[in-house]
Amino acid sequence: MNSVSLIRLVDEQIKQLRTNSLDLSINELVDMYTRAELVISPEYQSLWRWNEQQQSQFIESLILELPVPPLFVIKKADSVYELIDGLQRLSSYLHFHGNHPDYRDKQGNTHFLTLAGCHIVKELNHLTYEQLPQAIKIKLKYYLIRLEIIKKESNKQLHKAWFKKLHGQDFLLTEVTQAA
């Protein structure tokens, strides 16, 4: 295969995956989730795995304004976004903020994450979102997270392929080209 043919082949694959980036506050993401505009459990997303210490350390990173990896989403035809990478990060914040449905008892009462295992600012340990000073709550509310968006016009087979690549799973490009 000559260089020109290879370049054309690569360009054709690039055209099949349309992307965009957007920075949103974490509060906007919570609002999107609450309004069902952000689905956080598509069928190929990994299961919830972080324990409360890992969740707490992520929250501590947000409070300290440390950079965090972007969330990867697919924009669906009805302008709903489906999360394909970032489940543990977003779920940790939802749990801390009191918006995660997996942390409600049978009466509908919310179980907020109580921070545990914070090692940089140990004074955060044993606190819930409600117990934080207002200044820290505001800082969290406006913390920006990058959203990497796969647009709805993209090749549907590339969605799963991209997810697998993000998670270091074995993947053969032939799976996409044969299915297309």
In order along its 180 residues, the chain shows pLDDT tens digits of: 888 888 888 877 666 666 789 999 999 999 999 999 999 876 655 665 789 999 999 999 999 999 999 998 988 878 899 888 898 999 899 999 887 777 766 676 778 899 999 999 999 999 999 999 999 999 999 999 999 988 765 555 655 665 566 555 544 443 443 444
Q: Which residues of 145-168 are buried (b: 16+ CB within 10 A; e: fewer)?
A: bebbbbeeebbeebbbbbbeeeee
| Domain ranges (residues) in the chain | 17-179
Distance CA 147, CA 22 (A): 5
